[in-house]
Amino acid sequence: MPIIIPFRAIRYNKKNISSYICPPYDIIPKEKVRTFRGRNLYNAVRIELPSTYFNAKREFERWKKKKILIKDELPSFYLYEQKFCFKNKKYTRTGFFTLVKTEKFGKSIFPHEKTHLGPKKDRLKLLKTTKINTSPIFCLFSDNKNIFKRIARIIKNKPPSSFSKSAEISEKMWVINDNKIINILKNLLKNNKILIADGHHRYETFYGFTRGGGILTFLCPFEDKGLLILPTHRLVKEWTENETRKLQDFFRPDKKGDFNFYIKNKMFILKVPRKFRGLPIEYLHLTALKNKNLEYVKDKHEAVAKVKNSSFPAAVIVKPLSIEELKLVVKKKLLLPQKSTYFYPKVSTGIVFNEINADTRK
């Protein structure tokens, strides 16, 4: 069963932290690092994507001494709300920060996609040097009786402990140190299973380093109406005419296809065979994209444009996974190809930090 642990977060000694936070490391382009550094001398990017790992440690310690960062007195959970728009539709996503006791995958905590080695090496070096969870992983749990939803509604009636506003998103955070609420949430997770939505590299790195320590985690219900999953489209670096012909061996034409293959200014709308019992994204990588060298883009128009201008010979436009398909991943213990999901927006870095100490490494 998953074990969640209240903790004494380290966080900015300000209520408005708009200029202090940044996105997680894996979506900050190199050219944008300077932009975040310029927003504030104490912007979290200096810890999340430092010039050196030692500089991250040094800066963090300096910020604590100057009381830029403070540590909460009581072990707590932290309610976190994000409000945003996507394609003219408004969303509100709500969950909470906690420590989740790490374990081997497949017991009560499940990955949903494969990982790369490179990011794991980078995050391990940062973790070993700083002893800090700089950014949380993002996980999903079931709240089918709306227990968490009701708690969140009550807490949101109070002023937030901190907030952030930008053109794209507004964020609020509330400290939860009421033992009654903490115990209700602990019990809610006891009979649950957790799916890692984002942060596989950080989880694997942390588990390898601490062997069962508590990792900083944002937990969000599967049932949350603000949970938005976007697709990540595939750009294929090598593609032949023979492979185009072979598509008919793998797929069947269908106007409500699972994928759109765009090859030489022609769109093929295709569906997986009825006899395949897994998810379409699995079948795609077991057949047409098996052993293919790929690049990934979020925008389907960009993917098509790159084929039109001959940057790539082929593109595959995929559909986003549904919540029900994600639940199937947990039920059947599936491991999907890399970049099978993109949870939008990312959870910001700098809302709360977690120092790894003797307690969190048990």
Instruction: For 72-91, write each residue's pLDDT tens digit.
Output: 999 999 999 999 999 999 99
Q: How confident is the model at residue 114 (pLDDT cuts 50, 70, 90)?
A: confident
Average pLDDT of the residues in 41-61: 97
> Is the per-residue pLDDT at 362 higher than 90?
no
Based on the fold, state whether residues 309 and 204 are members of the same structural domain.
Answer: no
Per the domain annotation, does 16 fall within a domain? yes
> Is the per-residue pLDDT at 24 higher than 50?
yes
Chain mean pLDDT for the chain: 94
pLDDT at residue number 361: 43
Percent above pLDDT 70 for the chain: 98
Based on the fold, state whether residues 303 and 266 are members of the same structural domain.
Answer: yes
Based on the fold, state whether residues 236 and 222 are members of the same structural domain.
Answer: no
Q: How confident is the model at residue 21 (pLDDT cuts 50, 70, 90)?
A: very high
Based on the fold, state whether residues 208 and 118 are members of the same structural domain.
Answer: yes
Based on the fold, state whether residues 83 and 203 are members of the same structural domain.
Answer: yes
- Residue with the bigger pLDDT between 362 and 311: it is 311
Distance CA 67, CA 324 (A): 45
CB 324 within 8 A of CB 222: no
Based on the fold, state whether residues 111 and 219 are members of the same structural domain.
Answer: yes
Based on the fold, state whether residues 300 and 213 are members of the same structural domain.
Answer: no
Based on the fold, state whether residues 21 and 127 are members of the same structural domain.
Answer: yes
Based on the fold, state whether residues 28 and 162 are members of the same structural domain.
Answer: yes
| pLDDT digit string, tens, across residues 169-212 | 999 999 999 999 999 999 999 989 999 999 998 999 999 999 89
- Per DSSP, the residues of 164-216 read EE-SSEEEEEEEE--HHHHHHHHHHHHT--EEEEE-HHHHHHHHHHHSSPEEE
- Weakest-pLDDT range from 15-24, 107-116, 217-226, 262-271: 107-116
Instruction: Provide the H-helix boundaries in the chain.
Output: 30-39, 45-48, 53-65, 117-130, 147-155, 179-190, 200-210, 241-250, 280-286, 300-308, 323-332
- For 193-213, b where at least 16 C-beta lie within 10 A, e where not — what string? bbbbbbbbbbbbbbbebbeeb
Based on the fold, state whether residues 121 and 269 are members of the same structural domain.
Answer: no
Backbone phi, psi, residue 360, to 5° = -80, -15
| pLDDT digit string, tens, across residues 232-285 | 999 999 999 999 999 999 999 999 999 999 999 899 999 999 999 889 999 999
Q: The domain containing residue 218 runs over which residues?
A: 4-229+343-355
Q: Which two tokens stand for residue 289?
A: 């994209």
Per the domain annotation, does 326 fall within a domain? no
Based on the fold, state whether residues 125 and 197 are members of the same structural domain.
Answer: yes
pLDDT at residue number 115: 73
Distance CA 243, CA 75 (A): 57
What is the number of structural domains in the chain?
2
Distance CA 186, CA 161 (A): 22
